[in-house]
Structure 1
Amino acid sequence: MKSILPLLLTLVMTISWGQDPIIKAPKTTWQMFTYDAGTMFTSIGYAYTRPLYWKGPQWQTMGAVAGGTGFLYLFDDQTSKFFRDGRDHVPSFIRHYGEFIGNPENNYSVTAGVYFTGLFTKNEKLRRTGVLLISSASATGLLQQIMKSLAGRARPISGQSKDTFDPFNASRNYHSFPSGHAMMAFTNAYVIGKQFKNPWVKAGIYTVGLVPGISRVWDGQHWLSDVAFSVAMSVFTVEAIDRYLDSKYAEKYNDQNKLVSWNLTFAPGQIGVIARF
């Protein structure tokens, strides 16, 4: 818990001190809490129903994600060997950080801390950030648990090949797709990145958010395609819930339109993701 406090305090000070004072009609703490709790619940439902309203561009984006995941899937055996062979060359504190921050218990300690700080200080931007963190983590957490069971994909560490699927197998060795650690960690990073306008700061935060997912590949717990798909699902979920929260809270991030574009690019000897924000 002690190692969480520096991250929590940094986030609180960044959001609280880096924004203009918020002047709102007074509400009781209990009223704000019940409102936020209800909003968290409805925002998860909103995120899950978005595919019912997708049009051409959204389906094209989802098709690109599916195609990119499928492309990475072709090389999962090779990429898994590459990452696992290089594991011992990675500093242990980076690997441990990836395991720690992607753990649900630790994740909710951070997100709840952000939310309750905003609640008790009556800082709506910080409250909204906490609501977005908790809602997005809950939505992705439930989604990945359902998908793990349905897919039943074998983990690399099980000794099975990338093509091994056994749906509804209760063994954790068959819960590889998608990666819960990657979803949790990148969801947090993507939400925190929204607090900043500078693209280099965003990129740095996103890079840190990718470490837990990659650490799971190092440890043989997930294939690279599992992690890539999980990151995409984190982005979709956060964007959907953030749009929903625009109708529930007066304060918005940086007063900027939520326009984000993630494109997969493939070239000889090159695989990449281009983000425009």
Structure 2
Amino acid sequence: MKKYILSVLLVILFAPTQAQEQSQQVTTPTTWQLAKHDAKLMFGGLKYTYSRPFSWGQDDWAIAAGVVVGAAGLNIIDQQTSDFFVKHEPDVPNIIKDFGWYFGSPQNNYGITGSVYLFGLFTKNEKIRRTGILMISAASAAGLIQTVSKTVTGRARPSDGGKFSFKPFSNEGGYHSFPSGHTILSFTTFYALSKQFSNPWVKASLITAGMISPVSRLLAGAHWLTDVALSLALTVAVVESVDKYLDKEMGTLSEMEARKAKKKISWNLKLGAGSFGITGTF
């Protein structure tokens, strides 16, 4: 009789706990919970990007060296390419130049990427949310790099000096040529978006659209070809880094809660013929 009473008491004590754990695993997260979760992912993507060079392997350093060598080669023709683009600026339709300027502007770009994320957030569409997180985190990481680099390098724009003219830490806008902020923001958005599609034609179309801002800045004589090329390389590296981070870290809140629940001790009552026991799963 004592064993029977003990069994009933244990069932009463542990059954509600198990039911509560199961209900937590299937609970749909609120919009606010998702927003807090995603904010951590955005900041985590930014931190992950900045820490990546410390874990690069030989292949990564080889690629970085190749980019530097390639930029040095392009620098040889910086003046010629700048003259070419500026010469043909009047031949390009204004709609293309306007698109390149406005889409690459921070206020417009973040307005678009923010809208993508908010749409995914309020509709609880994980794929769109992930795309928005990737865009915002990558643009922020690359944008901070370009903001610092502009001031530190102080490279003259084609319209303000020669390709070897530098005024480090200058406050003059004419000496903020490297890197190209419009290129970074615009191409980050389109390159991140292109990664969401497997169709090569869709990918190519989005990447082509992302090149409008860089080309428009060359046409305006605002940047050298090497500024734009290195900005594109930086953008690709940052987007790939954040994308890799999200592949590892992103999941629905219910999935994260389920993983946490697996780490908790789960008690199970076992009754059998002539036997009684409690097992704990860790």
- TM bucket normalised to smaller: 0.7 to 0.9
1:249 and 1:51 map into 2 onto residues whose CA distance is 22
Give deviations 1:245-264, integer Å, cap 9, x for gaps: 1122248xxxxxxxxxxxxx
> In the alignment, what sits opposite 1:172?
173
> In the alignment, what sits opposite 1:47?
49
Give deviations 1:192-240, integer Å, cap 9, x for gaps: 1011112222111111101101110100110011001000100000000
2:190 and 2:66 map into 1 onto residues whose CA distance is 22
> In the alignment, what sits opposite 1:122?
124
> In the alignment, what sits opposite 1:272?
none
Give 2:191's aligned amino acid: Y
1:104-183 to 2 correspondences below 5 Å = 104-158=106-160, 160-183=161-184
> In the alignment, what sits opposite 1:76?
78
2:200 and 2:117 map into 1 onto residues whose CA distance is 25
- The answer (yes or no) to whether the contact 2:183–2:213 under 8 Å persists in 1 is yes
Q: Which has the larger radius of gyration?
A: 2
2:66 and 2:198 map into 1 onto residues whose CA distance is 26
| Superposed structure 1 runs of 4+ greater than 4 Å apart | none
1:116 and 1:127 map into 2 onto residues whose CA distance is 7
1:67 and 1:198 map into 2 onto residues whose CA distance is 32
1:96 maps onto 2:95 in alignment: no
TM-score (norm 2): 0.79
Give deviations 1:54-103, integer Å, cap 9, x for gaps: 01110111111111111111111110000000000011100110001000
Give 1:236's aligned amino acid: A
> In the alignment, what sits opposite 1:204?
205
Relative to total residues, which structure has the larger helix share, 1 or 2? 2
2:35 and 2:249 map into 1 onto residues whose CA distance is 13
- The answer (yes or no) to whether the contact 2:41–2:250 under 8 Å persists in 1 is no
1:59 and 1:156 map into 2 onto residues whose CA distance is 30
> In the alignment, what sits opposite 1:231?
232
> In the alignment, what sits opposite 2:185?
184
TM-score (norm 1): 0.80
1:179 and 1:145 map into 2 onto residues whose CA distance is 9
Give 1:215's aligned amino acid: S
Q: CA deviation at 1:43?
A: 1.0
Give 1:155's aligned amino acid: R
| Structure 2: unaligned runs, 5 residues or longer | 1-25, 253-282
Identity of aligned residues (%): 47
2:154 and 2:176 map into 1 onto residues whose CA distance is 5
SS in structure 1 of the partner of residue 29 of structure 2: coil
SS in structure 1 of the partner of residue 120 of structure 2: helix
Give 2:228's aligned amino acid: V
Deviates more, 1:198-207 or 1:85-94: 198-207
Over aligned residue pairs, what C-alpha RMSD do you find?
Answer: 1.1
| Structure 1: unaligned runs, 5 residues or longer | 1-23, 252-277
SS in structure 2 of the partner of residue 177 of structure 1: coil
> In the alignment, what sits opposite 2:29?
27
2:63 and 2:229 map into 1 onto residues whose CA distance is 14
2:27 and 2:76 map into 1 onto residues whose CA distance is 56
